[in-house]
Each structure stands twice: as structure tokens, then as C-alpha cells.
Structure 1
Amino acid sequence: MFLSPSPTFWRIIKKKSTEAFHPYPYLACVMNCSLWIFYGLPMVHPDSTLVVTINSAGLFLELCYLSIFFFYTTKKNRWIIILMLLVEAVVLAVLVVITLVCFHTHHDRSMFVGIVCVVFGIVMYASPLSIIRKVIRTKSAEFMPFWLCLAGFLNGVVWFIYANLKSFDLYIATGNGIGGLLGFFQLCVYGYYTLTASRRASEQTDAKPGDVQLTNNAPTKRPPV
């Protein structure tokens, strides 16, 4: 999932522009990875090595993507990225302090941080929908990140299965289960508008040039003198 935006950023680098792409999915992913890393630490939820290692790799990749986006995007988007990262850092710091000061058992800490992770995980999975209004208005899914939507769907399914393997983890199962459904919805939207665009292009191609030429060359009546 974390590698799925690579084609989008290769396009950004080649065109030296972020075009109509949004930074919101990558900002949401940074916050989500940071929270899950904290959730997987021994002081909160012991024996969560996979959660920490995978999300650490994801955090590194998302920061790389944001650096590329920041370099090629507009001044407005740069301010959005800076402000959102500052807000995320403050929110994370507040959550860490509340968790360590107000909760004193693994169960209580896991519950508190787990609920927050579920909320931000759903925000991450839903973040590609930030472009949905443009997709509906233009009837084109060109700027909808297909690979991110597909990876989000598959990632949600796999983590949901993982949450049910050894011992049921309610927070991983809930966040990723809903995330898988959101990913499926995004794929449906992408597929619908892609097929619609292909159908329109096919209808334009199938138009008979001879009919158009005859129409253009048809004689017009002169007004009476």
C-alpha cells in the first residue's frame, strides 16, 4: 500500500507539476502511521512488532512523497502541507502525554490509542475521496489515484484477516474492515467513470466522417432578392 503512490509521483516528477492531485491522502497516511507506531510500542500494546515495523517503513515513504509533492506543488499547497504537519505533530504529542499520564495499564492504553487509530485509519482510507467532487464534475477519474485505492482495498482486507488470526484485535479489525469497504467503493467510482469516459470516446470515434462532411457541404438556400 505504501508503495502504491509511486506511479503518481513518477508522473509528478516527469511533468514537474502536481497538476490536480491533492496532498491530503499522504498527510492522512503520515498521521495514521505515526499513531499505529505509538500503538505498537511495548508501553501501549506489547508483542506488536509487525505493526511497528510496517508503519515505520510507511511513515518514511510518506514523508518522501510529501517532500516531492512539496517541491513541485503550488504555494497554497505548500502552506497546507506545513500547517497540517504541524497540527499532526501537536495532536500526536498531546495523545502521547494523555496516554502515559492518564492510563496506567496496557489494556487501558491500548483501548484509548486503539480508538484514536481507528478514527484516523478511516480518515486515511477515505482520503482519496477528496478528489471525488472533481471526478463527478468532470466525469473523469484521471486524477483519482487508482493504485492507492486498489492498495487501500487489499490492505484493509489483509489487515482485517490478520486481526483475526492469533487473538482478535478489535481496533485493527474495525479500522481496516471499514477501510477495505471504502477502498472497494473508491474502486467502483473509478471503474464507473473510466468506463463512461471510454464509452464516450468510442462513440466519438464511431461517428461517420462522411455524414459529417455531407452535412457541412450541404447547400444553403439564398434569401430571395
Structure 2
Amino acid sequence: MRPEFNQINVYIVVHRSVLNLKFGFILRDDTVIQVNFFGLALNIIYVMIFYQYSEQKGQVWKNVGIAGAFGAAIIGYAEMEDPKLVENRLGAIITAFMFFLISSPLFHLKHIIRNKSTEGMPFPIIFSGTIVTFMWLLYGIILKNKFLILQNIVAFILCAFQLGLFVVYPSKPKEKSKAKAKKTN
């Protein structure tokens, strides 16, 4: 997997949290606000740790600035948009970000199938994402919120498909596993 692609995901996650927090305020839903406030705090800590270990600190600042400007523009739009339209439009923007973020490991599907390995795919994130999207799907059904339902049906299917790849393919390519076995003998 390309590290610069994973770096982009770091900033999308943080700004998605900000947009979801804004969406929670628009919905006046305390649960969405609390969960996304906590998620935003965790994501900020994650970016700080990512920055600490990054070899390209200037690039990190550049990406944070670009993502911050983009996020500010979307929030500015949400502030100026007609209150009757903003829920649906901001929900669509958040849905697009979510689909991009969750499906990003599948951008390397050709490589995964060719090498018959899920090496580089973030199993803990995909596994927890599957559980979380299912829980948000149930919450969306309870609220009868079409964006939460749509987002999380598609997200759950994407996560479940990615989990299925771990069942079909090992996390290490066969060549590497064989090479390690020969070295130990």
C-alpha cells in the first residue's frame, strides 16, 4: 500500500469527525454529537502521534492545511445553506467521504488478488469498522434517518467484503512465508 495514500486517510478521518460533529448539531442529536466529539479528540491524538513519527513533517503540515481549508469551506457552506436543505446536502457530502475512507483498502484489490495476500490491509480497523457500522445502522433505523441507514448499509457491506478477503487470503504472501520457513530451518 502506498504510504502517501494512508497519510491522506489520516486527514480525511479527522475532518470527517468535524463534519459529523456539525451534522450532529444540525440534527440536534446528542448521541451523534457526543460520539463524534470523542472521535474527534481521538483522531487529533492520532494525528499528533502520526506527526511525531512521520519522516515528512512538512508534508504533514501541508496536508493538514489543505484538509483544514476544505473542511472549513464545507462547514462555511453548511452555515450559509438554507436550513431546509443543509441536512440532506451535508449528509450527502459526509456519505461520500465515508465511502471513500472505508473503500480505500479496496483500491489495491488488484494487487491483493494478484499476490493472494491481504498484507497491508488494516485488519483491526476493518474488523472494528464492521462492528461500528452495524451499530450505527441499527441507530439509523431507530432514528429513521435515511443518511445514517444508507451510509451504514453500504459501509457494512464494504467492511464485510474486506473481512471476507482475510478469510480467502492470508495476511502474508506465500513467498514471504516460505522464505521465513527456509531461514528458520
TM range (shorter): 0.7 to 0.9
Q: Which moved more, 1:152-161 or 1:80-89?
A: 80-89
Inter-partner Cα distance in structure 2 for 1:148 and 1:169: 25
2:127 alignment partner, one of 120, 143, 150:
150
User: Would the aligned equivalents of 2:92 and 2:147 in 1 still touch at CA under 8 Å?
Assistant: yes
Aligned to 1:98: 77
TM-score by length of 1: 0.68
The structure whose Rg is larger is 1
1:45 alignment partner, one of 17, 27, 31:
27
> Aligned partner of 2:10: which letter?
Y
Inter-partner Cα distance in structure 2 for 1:200 and 1:101: 55
1:63-82 mapped onto 2 (5 Å cutoff): 63-75=44-56, 78-82=57-61
User: Would the aligned equivalents of 2:12 and 2:67 in 1 still touch at CA under 8 Å?
Assistant: no
1:122-161 mapped onto 2 (5 Å cutoff): 122-129=99-106, 132=109, 135-136=112-113, 138-161=115-138
TM-score by length of 2: 0.80
2:90 alignment partner, one of 110, 113, 124:
113
Q: Within the alignment, does 1:88 sit opposite 2:67 as a pair? A: yes
Deviations 1:42-78 (CA, angstroms, capped at 9, x unpaired): xx222x1111111111111122122222222332xx4
Give unpaired runs (5+ residues) of structure 2: none
User: Would the aligned equivalents of 1:30 and 1:59 in 2 still touch at CA under 8 Å?
Assistant: yes
The number of aligned residues is: 180
1:176-187 mapped onto 2 (5 Å cutoff): 176-187=152-163
Query: What is the CA distance between 1:124 and its match in structure 2?
Result: 2.2
Inter-partner Cα distance in structure 1 for 2:52 and 2:129: 26
Query: What is the CA distance between 1:199 and its match in structure 2?
Result: 10
Deviations 1:156-191 (CA, angstroms, capped at 9, x unpaired): 1111111011x3101111112111111112112223
> Aligned partner of 2:159: which letter?
G
User: Would the aligned equivalents of 2:117 and 2:173 in 1 still touch at CA under 8 Å?
Assistant: yes
Q: Aligned pair in 2 of structure 1 residues 123, 150: CA closer, same or farther (>3 Å)?
A: same
Q: Which moved more, 1:182-191 or 1:125-134?
A: 125-134
Deviations 1:134-164 (CA, angstroms, capped at 9, x unpaired): 5456543332210100111111111111101
Which protein is richer in helix relative to its size?
2
1:174 alignment partner, one of 110, 125, 150:
150
Aligned to 1:193: 169
Aligned to 2:19: 35
